Structure 1
Amino acid sequence: MNVLVTGATGFVGRAVVAELRRRGHAVWAGSRSGQAVGDAPGVPLDVTDPGSVLRAVAQANPDAVVHLVGIIAETGEQTFARVHVEGTRHVLAATPRGARFLHMSALGAGEIPGSRYSVTKGEAEALVQASGLNWTIFRPSLIFGMGDDFFGRVLKELVSVAPVVPQIGDGQFPFRPVSVEDVAQAFAAALEQPQTAGHTYALTGPQEFTFRELLDLELSALGKKKPVVPVPLALMNLAVPLMQVLPHPPITRDQYAMLKAGNTAPGDEARAAFGLPMHRLQDRLPDIVALKRGT
């Protein structure tokens, strides 16, 4: 199958491209830079520019489009609305009517008050569902793997920088992290299973953790022992808005809203449909935190 992948140079994109190639698909790696990914040729593709999207689709002539582009924080013109909603609209409009369309959403899409990330992910899902294409939507939890941003950078910095580890509230918010390999396998397998069209799948790992347990796992993987100090939500509610004046706030309003909401769901349906191996976070975390950024 001839497959165009948007966001192909990202953390998830590279894993999806590799899995598709492993299964014998011809893959075009779409990104703003137009960079090749492994042996998959690159094609310039900026989802916020409808002309760029049309040119990329014309060049790739895809039987399927895997739409992975998303942002976790707004920067300048790269807003959630522009990337998640308008970007998805542009890709849907350019996709051939007979093609399969696989869409990367997020667990909790449209369900988290105070999170523009969540709201726009929900709006993008609605566009996909109304597109008339043979779509499948995936909603992953936190995704872990070599080079990931959350466990390999954000949580690592949180437990490493200060002499104590700040814990948001009581730390009982639940999460069910899923490996990037499981995510990539789900996307690739869906292309080989036409019966998955019209379905939305939660992509979650085999075990649920509280936020406090994630902090403890991260400390253990780093070989550190530090006191974990709860920060009351009332204080966080005051502090997070003030942090937004910083050039690079340690936590954005959206990230704070999503942390408080948690990020979990049963993953049995996806595991059964796609035969996912369900890699465990605690088995992979030591290698993830040992990886030097930029390598």
Structure 2
Amino acid sequence: MQNLVTVFGGSGFVGTQVVRQLAKAGWRIRVAVRNPSLGYAMRLHGDVGQIDVVQANIRDRDSVARALEGATASVNLVGVLYEAGRQGFQAVHVDGARTVAEVAAAEGVTRVVQMSALGAAADSASKYARTKAEGEAAVRQVRPDAVVVRPSIVFGPEDGFFNKFASMAQVSPVLPLIGGGTTRFQPVFVGDVGKAIARMVTDSAAAGQTYELGGQAVFTFRELMQLMLAETGQRRLLLPVPFGVAGMLGALGDVMAMVLPPPVTSDQVTLLRSDNVVSGSLPGLPELGITPTTLEAVLPTYLYRYRRGGQYADQEARAVAGGHA
């Protein structure tokens, strides 16, 4: 096996794929998570003894140092979609990212990969996007050779996008289209993101690069909802919601975020005012030798759970049709 890589946030949706790909490439992996008891299954993604799970919080420098001790590479995937308590955008996206980079430099880590987001910009009206950009800058100030990765919406079996709206459609006859649903996205498959980050760790040519990861096609928010409904066999009213009204709903979500995951926050409404597609001026999946996986190839593999009849929905439909023949 090759040297040791520490993956912060490695038990999450993207992290699981990153760990799996790094294990395939022969790395020893240390998965650093806030609650190790929730990451016990990570060891199953590699050979016996190849993957270890340790406690670390990127807001705690000492725990970061312990997680990076002896490591040759570091991958920081930790991020939050909304602020709740001490898990704020500044604390996680900026201060935490800087801490990982500083400790990595002190420990002699040779490769640093920082997860950001498509749309990260220092002048963004969204605090999420703004702090993502500030985090990039903080990391690069310490480690100019750090690799920055900016994915669009990431989809896959455990995603928080299609699953969220498919679940909502099971109980609500209406799905909101914030801003009319015209915001454009370029969804990227979680497996492709995992492969990409594993190659960034391994390939010395990636040092100092910023990668934008998007899928093969661009969709509006309305089109994504239509795809989801088609896969789940549901008919729901897609209701345009003006940004002003959505902002008020987001304000309620800000309050809700203190106790449970909100349906939408005011900052997320702000994010939806801008498209989320690759610029074309930075390298992406093709430059890493990866052909983007299409939405249409993956959505049926997990959205079937929201159909009536689940994975047997087609057989059920045929049985009903046969009964009427």
Q: TM-score scaled to structure 1, two decimals?
A: 0.91
Structure 1 residues 96-135: aligned runs within 5 Å: 96-110=107-121, 113-132=124-143, 134-135=145-146
CA RMSD, 1 decimal: 1.9
Are residues 244 and 102 of structure 1, via their aligned partners in 2, closer, same or farther at CA, if it must alter by over 3 Å? closer
- The whole-number CA distance in structure 2 between the counterparts of 1:112 and 1:147 is 32
Out of 269, 272, 275, the position equivalent to 1:256 is 269
Alignment-mate amino acid for residue 267 of structure 2: D
2:301 aligned to which of 272, 281, 287: 287
Contact 1:2 1:64 in 2 (8 A): yes
Deviations 1:192-248 (A, max 9, x none): 221111110100000000011011011111111222221222322333324433354
Deviation of 1:41 after TM superposition, in Å, equals 0.8
Aligned partner of 2:285 in structure 1 is 271
The question of 1:92 aligning with 2:101 is answered yes
The equivalent residue for 2:177 is: 167
SS in 2 for 1:137: strand
Question: Does the C-alpha gap of structure 1 residues 256 and 22 become closer, same or farther in structure 2, counting only changes over 3 Å?
Answer: same
CA distance in 1, matches of 2:124, 2:109: 36
Match of 1:48 in 2: 59
The reply to whether residue 146 of structure 1 matches residue 148 of structure 2 is no
Deviations 1:151-192 (A, max 9, x none): 122x22343332122212221110000001110111111222
Closer/same/farther in 2, CA of residues 160 and 262 from structure 1, 3 Å limit: farther
2:192 corresponds to which residue? 182
8 Å CA contact retained: 2:7, 2:32:
yes
Deviation at 1:252, TM superposition (A): 0.7
Cα gap change, 1:123/1:19 in structure 2, threshold over 3 Å: closer, same or farther? Answer: same
Q: Which of 189, 213, 225 matches 2:235?
A: 225
How far 1:13 sits from its partner (Å)? 0.6
The whole-number CA distance in structure 1 between the counterparts of 2:266 and 2:122 is: 15
SS at match of 1:108: coil
The answer for the alignment partner of 2:211 in structure 1 is 201
Q: Indicate the residue corresponding to 1:10 in structure 2.
A: 12
Amino acid at match of 1:28: R
Amino acid at match of 1:146: P
For 1:133 and 1:45, locate their aligned partners in 2 and report how far apart those are by CA, in whole Å: 24
- Distance of 1:266 and 1:206 partners within structure 2: 14
Note if contact 1:147-1:291 (Cα within 8 Å) is conserved in structure 2. Answer: no
Aligned to 1:21: 23
Give unmatched runs, 5+ long, in structure 1: none
Q: State whether residues 27 and 41 of structure 1, in contact with CA within 8 Å, keep that contact through their aligned partners in structure 2.
A: yes
Contact 2:214 2:278 in 1 (8 A): yes
Deviation larger for 239-248 or 8-17: 239-248
Contact 1:159 1:218 in 2 (8 A): no
Where does structure 2 lack aligned partners over 5 or more consecutive residues?
A: 307-325
Distance in 2, matches of 1:187 and 1:291, equals 29
Q: Which moved more, 1:164-173 or 1:214-223?
A: 164-173
Structure with the greater alpha carbon radius of gyration: 2
Contact 1:98–1:134 under 8 Å retained in 2: no
Query: Is contact 1:146-1:291 (8 Å) kept?
Result: no
Instruction: Return the letter of the residue paired with 1:265.
Output: V
After TM superposition, give the deviation of residue 266 of structure 1 in Å: 4.8
C-alpha deviation, 1:291, in angstroms: 4.7
Q: How many residues align?
A: 289
Deviation at 1:112, TM superposition (A): 6.6
User: 8 Å contact 2:184–2:221 — kept in the other structure?
Assistant: yes
1:244 matched to 2:274? The reply is no
In the alignment, the residues of structure 2 paired with residue 46 and residue 144 of structure 1 have an alpha-carbon distance, to the nearest angstrom, of 26
* Cα deviation 1:52-101 (Å, max 9, x = unaligned): 1111112xx11110111111111111111111111112111111345100
Question: Greater shift after overlay, 80-89 or 240-249?
Answer: 240-249
Are the aligned partners of 1:106 and 1:121 in contact in 2 as well (CA < 8 Å)? yes
Moved more, 92-101 or 169-178: 92-101
Deviation, 1:111, is 5.3
TM-score in terms of structure 2 length: 0.83
Q: What is the CA–CA distance in structure 2 between the aligned matches of 1:290 and 1:76, rounded to whole Å?
A: 35
Q: Which residue of 1 aligns with 2:316?
A: none
